[in-house]
A and B are shown apart, each in its own frame.
Chain A
Amino acid sequence: MKNFFSSKQGIIAVGLAIGVLAPLLQFWGNPGNMGICVACFERDMAGAVGLHRAAIVQYMRPEIIGFVLGSLLAAFFAKDFRPRAGSAPIARFILGAFAMIGALVFLGCPWRAILRLAGGDLSAIFGILGLVAGIWIGTIFFRKGYNLGRSQKTHASVGLIMPLVMLGFFALMLLYPQIDKEPQSGVLFYSVQGPGSMHAPLLASLAVGLLVGVIAQRSRFCTMGAFRDVILFKQSHLLLGVIALFVAAVVVNALLGQVKIGFEGQPVAHTQQVWNFAGMLLAGLCFALAGGCPGRQLFLSGEGDGDAAVFVFGMIVGAGFAHNFGLASSPQGVGPHGIAAVFIGLAVCLYFGLTMRAKA
């Protein structure tokens, strides 16, 4: 059966759907220009389970749980669930950690960079430029033979690990629900102020997450891939979806009164543009070297890709480092050690890019 979502119309439809749903999630309670942000939400989840103790960013985001479970459902029904693993897992973990650190220097993943711009935050332009620059550097490594090596087929139980972890997180949410004005419920931490305290209703967030997980798995939606494919292959298929996401988000934000154009005073953002650029340069390079944006890594992990799951765990642990070591930015600017972390991350990427020229 032909997969509609793999067509040009399909990828545009998926971009439009995400571009409508993300501003709606913001309207229903998620933080400003953060209707969906994979990096921010994984950071919140890291906080929810206590991997960091930044009190303003702790919440078990149902959207992320939905992404993985929706992807699993789509892959299962389309007979596209293919358990596989074993392609340089430790490198993918480290790339995930530094991708998160770079994203938190900018304050957002590629999806949020687009959503920030769609909400009028002009600082996002520097982040998007950094993202594209990072991906461009990644394509140079690919042209020179960079390769993380082959994965292998594995047991279905391995492919199910990330969906099971997400089910476990959801069970924790149900066992230990948020208590009004309480920073902790059982083993879970909940922000009582700041971005972590802002969220759409649980069922709405979960439903959107599931829907996006389904359609993104079928379409292979990937913001990093969109730019990479243009640079590497001159192919605009995925980019059509990203453009559709941006256009839809601009329209829906305008209809909902969520547009505020300018650099200053934007929600959960700072104006140190060099570091907005450099943070996403690092993140974009990590995404390119690992083969997918953070959303795509979640969808891949849902369809059985254990290597993508390792990248996701790297991002979650990276969020812990980012907040425990003062690497993450805040609306006041970059963290005390964020700049050093960007340089270290770029050096690590250079090491990977130059040394991992695997024999295919």
Chain B
Amino acid sequence: MEKTIDARGLSCPQPVLDTLSAIAAMGSGKLTVLVDTEASKENVSRAIQAKGWRLDAVAEDGGEYRLDISKG
């Protein structure tokens, strides 16, 4: 199962809230999270790892971040 969360433009704590809701609903699989502040990138990364998910890759493009996360 794959899903994308677009949290660009959303302020704290919404990106984390949306991401955690998605991973709770999915249980496992692959998730892409789009954010546009470094704080959101750090907060989402920390939150998903605390839930046992992996941060597979982070890509930056023009001040926006794409976080690829997964749980097998």
Contact = CB atoms under 8 A, between A and B. Distances in A.
A232 interface: yes
A151 interface: yes
Contact of A291 (B11, B38, B46, B63): B11
Nearest to B41: A6
Contacts of B14: 142, 147, 360
Interface in B16-52: 16-18, 20, 36-39, 42-43, 46-47, 50
A78 B14 CA distance: 24
Nearest to B10: A150
Contact of B36 (A82, A228, A291): A82
B13 interface: yes
Contacts of A229: 13
B54 to A, nearest CB: 18
A149 to B, nearest CB: 8
Contacts, number: 58
Interface residues of A, number: 28
Nearest to B20: A233
A235 interface: yes
Contact of A80 (B7, B17, B38): B38
A225 B12 contact: yes
Interface residues of B, number: 22
B50 A360 contact: no
A84 interface: yes
Given A151-B11, A292-B12, A232 B17 contact: yes
A148 B11 contact: yes
The CB with the most chain B CB atoms within 10 A, among A153, A307, A360, is that of A360
Nearest to B60: A79
A82 B47 contact: no
B13 A228 contact: yes
B13 A82 contact: no
A220 interface: yes
Nearest to A151: B9
B8 interface: yes
A3 B46 CA distance: 13
Nearest to B63: A82
Contacts of A78: 38
A6 to B, nearest CB: 5
Contacts of A150: 8-10
Contact of A142 (B7, B8, B17, B50): B17
Given A6-B42, A82-B36, A360-B18, A233 B12 contact: no
Nearest to A8: B46
Residue in B13, B46, B47 whose Cβ sees the most chain A Cβ within 10 Å: B13
Interface of A: 3, 6, 78, 80, 82, 84, 87, 142, 147-148, 150-153, 220, 222, 225, 228-229, 232-233, 235, 237, 291-292, 305, 307, 360
Interface of B: 7-14, 16-18, 20, 36-39, 42-43, 46-47, 50, 63
8 contacts: A3-B38, A3-B42, A87-B11, A147-B14, A151-B11, A225-B12, A233-B13, A305-B11
The 8 closest A-B pairs by CB, nearest first: A150-B9, A291-B11, A6-B42, A220-B39, A151-B9, A291-B12, A80-B38, A150-B10
Given A142-B14, A233-B13, A235-B46, 18 more contacts: A78-B38, A80-B38, A82-B37, A84-B36, A87-B9, A148-B11, A150-B10, A151-B9, A151-B10, A153-B36, A220-B42, A228-B13, A229-B13, A233-B47, A291-B12, A291-B13, A360-B7, A360-B18
